[in-house]
Amino acid sequence: MDTLGKTLTYQAAIAWETNSPLSIEEVKVEPPKAEEVHIKMASSGICGSADHVLKGLLPLNFPLIPGHEGAEIVDSIGEGVSSVKPGDKVLTLVVPQRRECSSCLHPRGNFCEKQDILPSSGLILDGTSRFTCKGEKIYNSFHTSTFTKHTAMPEIAVAKIDDAAPLGKVCLISCEVPTGYRAAVHSARVTPGSTCVVFGLGGVGSAVVMGCKASGASRIIGVDINEEKFPRGRALRVTDCLNPRNLKKPVQQVVVEMTGFGVDFAFEAIGLVDTMIAAWDSCHLSYGVCLIVGLAPSNSQLSLDAVKVISGRTLKGAYPFCLADYKTRGCIPQLVTDYLQKKINVDPLVTHQLPFHQPHKAFELYHTGKTIRCVLLF
Ligand code: PAD
Ligand code: ZN
């Protein structure tokens, strides 16, 4: 259906305030303005960052339509849009790529100045919202908002993907897979034969494990407090599973003893300061590399032993998509093609699929820890 020029009403899941249940509402969605696209959602992943948003751990404006890990079809385009056309399959991008700012133009930069994460206004590029409900303005999350049947977004926040892509699964390639997989392959540059530890075997941690394995790591230690994650972790080639709650010593000490001197590469994919410190302390003193992928609550501080910092270890951050020179619009479509060509496999990461109008059930499943990723289907 061509939505150009029309304000239409669609169902969307709204969070009216933090820590309140999502409510399915009729939402008015304005047509796309210049350099915007109107899209029809096909699927959206339920991820840890969306949970952080709903709990108020990240400073976003409410009421909002959450979700940022989406796969969809372009319905109509505003004036000046040239990279996509109606009918194209696309993925939403938390970090857009306008290709004009210092980050976009730098070979190793990708945190485009048009991003709406740090800080987040909850508005589209022109400072307005395309959503209203019951006469009230509804905010966006990170330019995306995927828990809605339709949305209008900036062209620079969508990436056209292969026509053959199965939309019920590839939504994970919009955020979770590039964040975790590329953190291992690209940011940490895991080497063949190396030892790794991954803190958190949820969606992002599982994608990190896949990246470690693809890079030839010989030992991958998985750490999680939920042992339901261990069988799936082992299927992805985690070699040793540790539950810190069942250990008599701090987990970092156990990891160092298991590997002799500490691991070559440690990843934190939980978002807690304590596990970030444990990941850092698990690394080899001299050449270990610690990569923080998890998003800690805003304003939390990371306190490290200053003496141990000078021994040579490296501490790096990999905020969603800020993976060195990993340009979002340029690189994400290639990951979809790699999936279609069976070079990477995201199928094991999609453990559950539910209809869009059951977001509560999806979050319930998420909180029990039974999922790697639950995908909402529209
Ligand atoms: P998830 O909830 O699927 O995974 C987190 C995992 O950590 C779960 O398996 C938990 O059982 C485990 N866990 C929780 N507490 C502990 C603990 N104290 N010790 C050991 N294990 C624990 O979330 P996710 O994988 O979607 O996201 C993980 C983090 O990465 C989170 O901070 C999120 O904001 C950040 C992130 N997420 C994305 C994304 O797309 N979701 C992108 C970039 C960064
Ligand atoms: Zn830019």
Task: Look up the CATH number of the domain holding residue 92.
Answer: 3.90.180.10
296 and 191 co-located in one domain:
yes
* 286 included as an active-site residue: no
- Asked whether residue 372 is domain-assigned, the answer is yes
CB 96 within 8 A of CB 176: no
The two tokens of residue 25 are 């509402």
Q: Is the pTM of this model over 0.85?
A: yes
158 and 251 co-located in one domain:
no
35 and 160 co-located in one domain:
yes
pLDDT of res. 330? 85
Q: List residues near ligand 1 (CB under 6 A).
A: 47-49, 52, 69, 175-176, 179, 199-205, 223-226, 229, 244, 269-272, 275, 293-295, 320, 369
- Asked whether residue 330 is domain-assigned, the answer is no
82 and 15 co-located in one domain:
yes
* 284 included as an active-site residue: no
Residue 231 burial by CB count (10 A; 0-12/13-18/19+): exposed, middle or buried? Answer: exposed
The two tokens of residue 24 are 């399915």
- Asked whether residue 87 is domain-assigned, the answer is yes
CB 45 within 8 A of CB 176: yes
DSSP one-letter string for 290-355: EEE-S-PPTT------HHHHTTS-EEEE--TT--TT--HHHHHHHHHHHHHTTSS--GGGEEEEEE
Task: Sort strands 289-292 and 131-133 into parallel, antiparallel or unpaired.
Answer: unpaired
CB 2 within 8 A of CB 87: no
364 and 296 co-located in one domain:
no
pLDDT of res. 5? 77
Q: How far apart are CA 341 and CA 343, in angstroms?
A: 6
CATH number at residue 204: 3.40.50.720
* For the CA of 112, the nearest ligand: 2
Among the listed residues 43, 49, 215, 282, the single catalytic one is 49
Q: What is the mean pLDDT of each run of 10 residues along the chain (378 residues)?
A: 78 97 96 95 93 91 96 96 97 94 89 90 94 97 94 96 97 92 91 98 95 97 96 96 98 98 97 96 96 89 85 83 70 94 95 96 93 96
| Angle at the Cα of 295 from the Cα atoms of 290 and 296, rounded to 5 degrees | 95
Domains contained in the chain, number: 2
pLDDT of res. 4? 66
* 186 included as an active-site residue: no
pLDDT of res. 318? 74
144 and 223 co-located in one domain:
no
168 and 186 co-located in one domain:
no
> 202 C-alpha vs ligand 1 centroid, how far in Å?
5
Mutate to test the pocket of ligand 1, among 49, 182, 226, 270 (most ligand atoms within 8 A of CB): 270
